[in-house]
């Protein structure tokens, strides 16, 4: 299992960094679109879509994304509204769904559940590609926030975990793990801001933008909020899988499960990061830049 995980991770990293290193934004946009289209297929299967419908969901997602890219969308104002709307939807809707628990999820109409997943995946993919056009440093700082929160929460939970966070959804998560993740992200932010100041990178990171726009106290509060959203995304996918009786979203990624298992915590964080960073100036520049 460990060998499978390592090999799969190396292949994914090679593909993604190869796409990032390529000139322009389109290679990364298309590679990430393929991954998110696979996530759309997984979402359909987890929400009782027949096989043909689940495949159709993935194909339509890919075609609409490719069409949007070919059309070279230039709508920073509408995108800003989308980031805020998505973040607020995750805050309100995520809290409501998690509060009601796994048993309530299948009671929602199937068509509504499938459409909701497609919309959340769509906004997250748009946010990821937009972050790439803002700058690789910005995008990586956003992704690393979620990875640091997850890694620090894992080790903090194992070492200190006592109080369960959501036992009916994910019994392994604890409040001690949550706060370990927050501390890890705040330390990461301090280090990344120092890195931005020391080196001439391709643009400021998420952390530097937040500090410039809000100051350290409010920036720290914003980062705590992003950590909370990463947990909501993780728990939401766990709830959907538990309601479906599935351990993994699929077996597309040997040793890792499915695409949704890898991006669940990122889904709310990416649009919310762009919404918060957009409080500063200039996030509209470079959209779909080639």
pLDDT range class, residue 287, cuts 50, 70, 90 = very low
Q: What is the pLDDT of residue 9?
A: 78
Q: What is the pLDDT of residue 35?
A: 94
CA quadruple 271, 273, 276, 278: dihedral sign: negative
* Mean pLDDT of all residues in 81-106: 93
Q: What share of the chain is helix, strand, coil (3-state, %, to 5)?
A: 75, 5, 20
Q: What is the pLDDT of residues 143-195, one digit of tens each?
A: 999 999 999 999 999 999 999 999 999 999 999 999 999 999 999 999 999 99
* Mean pLDDT of all residues in 119-145: 93
Going by DSSP bridges, is the β-strand pair 170-174/164-166 parallel, antiparallel, or unpaired? Answer: antiparallel
Say how many C-beta atoms besides its own lie within 10 A of residue 116's C-beta. 16
Question: What is the CA angle 190-194-199, rounded to 5?
Answer: 150
10 Å CB burial of residue 77 (0-12, 13-18, 19+) is exposed
Question: Is pLDDT of 7 > 90?
Answer: no
**What is the percent of the chain with per-residue pLDDT over 70, rounded to a whole number?**
92
Residue 253, beta-bridge partner list: 257
Q: What is the pLDDT of residue 74?
A: 47
Q: How far is it, in rounded angstroms, from Cα 191 to Cα 13?
A: 23
Q: What is the pLDDT of residue 279?
A: 84
> Contact at 8 Å (CB) between 205 and 190?
no
* Mean pLDDT of all residues in 106-132: 93
Q: What is the pLDDT of residue 284?
A: 44
pLDDT range class, residue 79, cuts 50, 70, 90 = confident
Q: What is the pLDDT of residue 288?
A: 33
Residue 87 CB contacts under 8 Å (≥ 6 apart), including other chains: 229, 268, 271, 272, 275
Question: Is pLDDT of 290 > 50?
Answer: no
Q: What is the pLDDT of residues 241-273, one digit of tens each?
A: 999 999 999 999 887 889 999 999 999 999 999
Question: Is pLDDT of 209 > 50?
Answer: yes
* Mean pLDDT of all residues in 132-151: 94
* Mean pLDDT of all residues in 36-43: 96
DSSP per position, 139-191: HHHHHHHHHHHHHHHHHHHHHH--SEEETTTEEEEEHHHHHHHHHHHHHHHHH
10 Å CB burial of residue 141 (0-12, 13-18, 19+) is buried
| Backbone conformation region of residue 24, classed left if phi is above 0, alpha if psi is from -120 to 50, else beta | left
Say how many C-beta atoms besides its own lie within 10 A of residue 48's C-beta. 14
> Contact at 8 Å (CB) between 72 and 100?
no
* Mean pLDDT of all residues in 128-148: 93
Q: What is the pLDDT of residue 271?
A: 96
CA quadruple 97, 101, 106, 108: dihedral sign: negative
């Amino acid at each position: 299992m460990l060998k499978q995980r390592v090999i799969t991770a190396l292949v994914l990293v090679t593909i993604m960094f190869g796409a990032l290193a390529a000139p322009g934004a389109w290679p990364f946009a298309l590679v990430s679109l393929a991954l998110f289209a696979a996530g759309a297929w997984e979402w359909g299967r987890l929400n009782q879509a027949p096989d043909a419908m689940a495949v159709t969901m993935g194909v339509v997602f890919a075609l609409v994304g490719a069409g949007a890219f070919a059309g070279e969308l230039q709508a920073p104002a509408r995108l800003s509204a989308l980031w805020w709307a998505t973040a607020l939807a995750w805050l309100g809707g995520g809290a409501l769904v998690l509060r009601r628990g796994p048993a309530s999820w299948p009671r929602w109409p199937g068509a509504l559940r499938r459409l909701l997943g497609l919309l959340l995946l769509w906004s997250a993919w748009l946010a990821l590609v937009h972050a790439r056009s803002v700058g690789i440093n910005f995008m990586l700082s956003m992704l690393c926030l979620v990875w640091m929160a997850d890694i620090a929460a894992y080790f903090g939970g194992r070492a200190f975990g006592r109080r369960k966070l959501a036992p009916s959804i994910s019994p392994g998560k604890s409040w001690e793990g949550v706060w370990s993740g927050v501390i890890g992200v705040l330390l990461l932010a301090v280090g990344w801001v120092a890195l931005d100041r020391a080196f001439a990178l391709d643009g400021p990171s998420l952390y530097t933008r937040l500090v410039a726009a809000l100051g350290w106290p409010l920036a720290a509060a914003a980062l705590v909020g992003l950590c909370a959203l990463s947990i909501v995304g993780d728990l939401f996918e766990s709830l959907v899988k538990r309601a479906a009786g599935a351990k993994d979203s699929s077996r597309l990624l040997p040793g890792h499960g499915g695409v949704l298992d890898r991006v669940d915590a990122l889904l709310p964080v990416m649009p919310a990061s762009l919404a918060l960073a957009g409080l500063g100036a200039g996030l509209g520049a470079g959209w779909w830049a080639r």
